[in-house]
């Protein structure tokens, strides 16, 4: 009987990481759950066990390399060899740059960028000697197109993209069986908008269109099992942001200067005294979804096209073959008639 897949997910206590843990678990995987917040980790473990799976709670801060190395060692010892590592943990600060502190920039960079580096190094330690495994980097359209009020987050996603490209080319050079892939996400309905540090006058929101975290989870699962593709663009909004920035970056600058502040805030005033998770986790189980269920999409046509592009191309080829065959059949009687006339002559 084949052993269940062993997957490690950082940022697994809430949001896209929580949804991804469920996605792997319902397909039979054993899941190592890494995050700072124990409440959310324990709740995620219960969900996985209710599905009949196995889960290992690993409270750790991804910015601390020793903690991540120890978490990986526990997974190897208690769940088995790591097949897939998903780098997903993140934090952010909603704030104009002029009001940010150097410490805040450093913290976001340590969690988002160095957290991915630390996770990758922990995974490679076990994957390279076995010459197999997949490392998934959860990215964003903001890895290509920065927006106002999230400079630290955008910069960290740009850094992750650069790190990923270097890692991929090195693995290719070494003809390694270890693969890596990046999944670029759209705006997601996760709890982050209610717990990240914010200096905005109104409550933060994802820039519409908004997608449910389960869309992200399906993309991550698919990418982990089809890492031959370099990147996955999870929604049409991601494609527009990336391609638009390549074609008309100056226009995008002017557009975001006008719309980027309002599109990231609701009409409700922010509570400046609420807790945030920049330095410490916010207690409690926050689940996968944020407060935008009524506005969030549950599917993405772009993702479906990316996942089933081979089938779509095969279908298109069959359709074209059918059209060509019908056209040929219509021409046959005329060709036969022409031959009869030629023979009689």
pLDDT score recorded for residue 312:
47
Quick check: is 31 in a domain? Answer: yes
Domain for residue 334, yes or no? no
State the Cα angle at 8 between 7 and 14, rounded to 5°: 115
Residue 319 within a domain: no
Using a 10 angstrom Cβ sphere, with 0-12 exposed, 13-18 middle and 19 or more buried, the burial of residue 226 is: middle
pTM of the shown model: 0.89
> Are the C-beta atoms of 20 and 216 separated by less than 8 Å?
yes
pLDDT value for 230: 97
Residue 1 pLDDT class (50, 70, 90 cuts): low
pLDDT value of position 166:
98
Q: What does the chain come to in residues?
A: 345
Mind listing the pLDDT tens digit for each residue in 138-159?
Answer: 999 999 999 999 999 999 999 9
pLDDT at position 337 is: 60
Query: Would 35 be classed as within a structural domain?
Result: yes
pLDDT value of position 71: 98
Using an 8 Å Cβ cutoff, are 11 and 88 in contact?
yes
Residue 253's CATH number: 3.40.50.720
Mean pLDDT of 2-16: 95
- Tokens 């934090």, located at residue: 91
Neighbouring residues of 310: CB distance < 8 A, sequence distance ≥ 6: none
* 74: in domain: yes
Selecting among 153, 211, 221, 232, the annotated active-site residue is 153
Q: Which two tokens stand for residue 269?
A: 């005033």
Predicted confidence (pLDDT) at residue 177 exceeds the cutoff of 50: yes
Rounded Cα distance, 272 and 256, in Å: 25
- How far is residue 323's CA from residue 317's CA, in Å, rounded to a whole number? 10
341 lies in a domain?
Answer: no
The count of C-alpha atoms lying within 13 angstroms of the C-alpha of 7, restricted to the half-sphere facing its C-beta, is 31
For residues 298 and 214, is the Cβ–Cβ distance under 8 A? yes
**CA dihedral sign, ordered 100, 104, 105, 106:** positive
**pLDDT score for 332:** 60
What range defines the domain where residue 82 resides?
Answer: 6-307
The answer to whether residue 337 is domain-embedded is: no
Distance CA 85, CA 161 (A): 17
- Rounded distance, CA 92 to CA 145, Å? 16
Average pLDDT value for residue range 51-79: 97
Residue 320 lies in a domain: no
- Interval 244-253: pLDDT, tens: 999 999 999 9
**Is there a contact between 139 and 185 (Cβ–Cβ < 8 Å)?**
yes
For the chain, what is the mean pLDDT?
A: 92
pLDDT for residue 219 is more than 60: yes
* Pairwise CA distance, residues 166 & 314, whole Å: 33
Residue 335 pLDDT > 60 = no
Among residues 139, 256, 266, the alpha carbon closest in space to that of 194 is found at 266
308 is catalytic: no
- Domains held by the chain: number: 1
Phi, psi of 206 (to 5 degrees): -70, 145
Comparing 59-73, 112-126, 312-326, the range with the smallest average pLDDT is 312-326
Measured between alpha carbons, how far is residue 24 from residues 215, 224, 307 in Å? Answer: 13, 10, 16
Segment 87-97, tens digit of pLDDT: 999 999 999 99
Higher pLDDT, 338 or 210: 210
């Amino acid at each position: 009987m084949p052993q269940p897949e062993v997957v490690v997910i950082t940022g697994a206590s809430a949001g896209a990481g929580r949804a991804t843990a469920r996605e792997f678990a319902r397909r039979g995987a054993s899941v190592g759950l890494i995050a700072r917040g124990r409440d959310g980790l324990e709740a995620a473990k219960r969900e996985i066990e209710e599905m009949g799976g196995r889960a290992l709670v690993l409270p750790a801060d991804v910015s601390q390399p020793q903690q991540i190395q120890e978490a990986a060692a526990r997974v190897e010892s208690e769940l088995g060899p790591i097949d897939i590592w998903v780098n997903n943990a993140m934090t952010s600060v909603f704030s104009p740059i002029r009001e940010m502190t150097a410490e805040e920039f450093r913290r976001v960079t340590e969690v988002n960028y160095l957290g991915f580096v630390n996770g990758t190094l922990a995974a490679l330690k076990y994957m390279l000697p076995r010459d197999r495994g997949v490392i998934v980097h959860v990215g964003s359209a903001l890895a290509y197109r920065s927006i106002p009020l999230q400079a630290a987050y955008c910069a960290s996603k740009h850094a992750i993209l650069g790190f990923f490209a270097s890692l991929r080319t090195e693995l290719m050079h070494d003809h390694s069986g270890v693969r890596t892939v990046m999944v670029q996400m759209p705006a997601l309905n996760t709890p982050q908008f209610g717990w990240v540090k914010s200096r905005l006058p109104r409550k933060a929101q994802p820039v519409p269109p908004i997608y449910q975290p389960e869309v992200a989870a399906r993309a991550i699962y698919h990418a982990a099992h089809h890492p031959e593709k370099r990147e996955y663009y999870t929604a049409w909004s991601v494609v527009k942001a990336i391609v638009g920035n390549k074609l008309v970056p100056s226009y995008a600058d002017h557009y975001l200067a006008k719309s980027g502040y309002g599109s990231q805030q609701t009409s409700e005033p922010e509570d400046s005294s609420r807790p945030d998770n920049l330095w410490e986790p916010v207690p409690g189980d926050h689940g996968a979804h944020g407060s935008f269920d009524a506005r969030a999409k549950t599917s993405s046509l772009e993702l479906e096209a990316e996942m089933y592009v081979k089938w779509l191309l095969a279908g298109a080829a069959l359709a074209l073959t059918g059209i060509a065959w019908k056209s040929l059949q219509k021409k046959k009687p005329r060709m036969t008639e022409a031959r009869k006339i030629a023979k009689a002559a």
